[in-house]
Amino acid sequence: MKSFVPVLFLVYELCLCGSRGTSAGTPVFVLKGEDLLLNVTKAVVLGKFDNFSWKCNKSNIVRFTFNDKGASLNYTGRIEFPENNFSVKLKNLQEADSGVYTAVVAKDSGDETEAKYNVKVQDRASLPLLTVSSVSESSSSCSFTVTCSSQDSHTNSTFSCDNQTCSQEGGERSEGIPDTFLQVYQSSGSIICNHSNRVSWTSDTKIIKNVCHQQVDPDPPDPVPIILGVFFTILILAIIGLLLWCYLRKSKRVIFENIIYDTAQFGAPARTQDPTADEASALPLSCIYALVDPKTSPPAPTEPRNTAQLESVYAQVKKTTPGP
């Protein structure tokens, strides 16, 4: 909206310049209480008998001569000379200071206009009043009329709303007097009444859902439950993963502890040096393990059972080579 106001002012300015031409001077708008620099863009050289003056509505406010300068009594203490030329700064302008300011060089051959400004001093735009009337509601829609008013003008506008959107009948409405404007429009779920002039603007606002109860904006989701849900999900998955890792590690340890390594070593015995030793004794020996079962006959009734007989008996038998 802020960008719309300067555009509206520019259109008004073009119309103003087209109707008045350039004879009224360059338009300048100043906020009440601020300063204004009246600038001379041309290089001005005064002769010995020439003088330069600034005039407001044809009345002198300051005058420069060949070697001196002075301000009118009405502007004493309100004029500064910021540069070493003929530009002046007017301090603390009031609405009564509005007028056409002209820079004139007076010569023997006649007066020459060097600069011309059409100055208008404005106070800050007053706070407008936005009122709502003629509200008509149904189960799915509503319509209402608003009035935007200021001290010197007012304008009305009607809005129609459903559950999702609102529309302004006839588009954006504006009203006002020269250099002062009233606009009524909607933005971001609100109806806005804007009062502006060339130097400032103010506004009044009504929230649509407070007027049309069907026009309710959905509440944004609460992020706290979502964050907590994600946190606990990650925590549970981490615990499950830790338990599974511990279980697999324990299972591997049990398997490793139950493995029995049986290593059979074979080797030839050392040969004897006794020449009389039997040739068969020099042959390699093989260890043959025989499992001898205990006797199968039942023990005598009176004989106590010998549990030692149930043990396995291992016998080592030497394998010999048959004789010639």
> How many separate helices (H) and strands (E) can be counted in the chain?
3, 19
Other beta carbons within 10 Å of 315: 9
The tokens for 111 are 């007066």
> What's the structural domain count of the chain?
2
* Per-residue model confidence as pLDDT tens for the chain (324 residues): 444 443 334 334 434 433 343 467 899 999 999 999 998 877 777 777 788 899 999 888 998 887 788 888 888 889 998 877 888 999 999 999 999 999 998 887 788 888 999 999 999 999 999 999 888 888 788 999 999 999 888 889 999 998 778 899 888 888 877 888 999 999 989 999 999 999 999 999 999 988 887 554 445 566 788 888 898 899 899 999 888 888 888 877 666 555 555 544 555 544 544 544 454 444 444 444 444 445 455 555 554 555 444 444 444 445 555 554
Domain end marker among 211, 233, 266 = 211
Residue 269 lies inside a defined structural domain of this protein: no
**What whole-number distance in Å separates Cα of residue 274 and Cα of residue 276?**
5
- Residues 54 and 106 reside in one and the same domain: yes
Task: Report the pLDDT value the prediction gives residue 231, as an integer from 0 to 100.
Answer: 87
**What whole-number distance in Å separates Cα of residue 210 and Cα of residue 142?**
12
Residue whose pair of structure tokens reads 């200071």 in the numeric block: 97
SS3 of 196-221: the string is EECCCEEEEEEEHHHHCCCCCCCCCC
Contact 134, 59 (CB under 8 A): no
Task: Report the pLDDT value the prediction gives residue 4, as an integer from 0 to 100.
Answer: 42
Other beta carbons within 10 Å of 181: 24
Task: Report the pLDDT value the prediction gives residue 265, as an integer from 0 to 100.
Answer: 52
**What whole-number distance in Å separates Cα of residue 121 and Cα of residue 95?**
5
What is the three-class DSSP state of 141?
A: coil
**What whole-number distance in Å separates Cα of residue 89 and Cα of residue 39?**
8
Task: State the pTM of this model.
Answer: 0.54
Contact 173, 8 (CB under 8 A): no
The tokens for 236 are 């549970």
- Residues 34 and 97 reside in one and the same domain: yes
**Sign, Cα dihedral of 179, 184, 186, 189:** positive
- Residues 45 and 138 reside in one and the same domain: no
The CATH number given to whatever domain includes residue 99 is 2.60.40.10
**What whole-number distance in Å separates Cα of residue 173 and Cα of residue 177?**
14
- Residues 177 and 153 reside in one and the same domain: yes
Other beta carbons within 10 Å of 284: 9
- Strand 26-31 to 110-122 pairing: parallel
Task: Report the pLDDT value the prediction gives residue 201, as an integer from 0 to 100.
Answer: 93
- Residues 114 and 172 reside in one and the same domain: no
Residue 312 lies inside a defined structural domain of this protein: no
Give the residue numbers spanning the domain of 77. Answer: 21-122
Task: Report the pLDDT value the prediction gives residue 274, as an integer from 0 to 100.
Answer: 52
- Residues 102 and 146 reside in one and the same domain: no
- Residues 71 and 147 reside in one and the same domain: no
Residue 319 lies inside a defined structural domain of this protein: no
Residue 36 lies inside a defined structural domain of this protein: yes
- Residues 92 and 137 reside in one and the same domain: no
The tokens for 211 are 């007027």
Task: Report the pLDDT value the prediction gives residue 119, as an integer from 0 to 100.
Answer: 96
- Residues 25 and 118 reside in one and the same domain: yes
Task: Report the pLDDT value the prediction gives residue 19, as an integer from 0 to 100.
Answer: 38
**What whole-number distance in Å separates Cα of residue 241 and Cα of residue 145?**
64
The tokens for 197 are 């002039």
- Residues 37 and 89 reside in one and the same domain: yes
- Residues 166 and 116 reside in one and the same domain: no
Task: Report the pLDDT value the prediction gives residue 305, as an integer from 0 to 100.
Answer: 52
Residue whose pair of structure tokens reads 């309100």 in the numeric block: 78
Residue 39 lies inside a defined structural domain of this protein: yes
Radius of gyration of the CA atoms of the chain, in A: 56
- Residues 117 and 145 reside in one and the same domain: no
Contact 126, 197 (CB under 8 A): no
Residue 32 lies inside a defined structural domain of this protein: yes
Residue 136 lies inside a defined structural domain of this protein: yes
Residue 192 lies inside a defined structural domain of this protein: yes
- pLDDT, tens only, 115-164: 999 999 999 999 999 999 888 888 788 999 999 999 888 889 999 998 77
**What whole-number distance in Å separates Cα of residue 302 and Cα of residue 264?**
45
Question: Which residues in 129-144 are b (16+ Cβ under 10 Å) and which e?
Answer: ebeeeeeeeeeeebbb
CA atoms in the 13 A half-sphere facing the CB of 284:
5
Domain end marker among 168, 196, 211 = 211
Domain end marker among 187, 211, 235 = 211
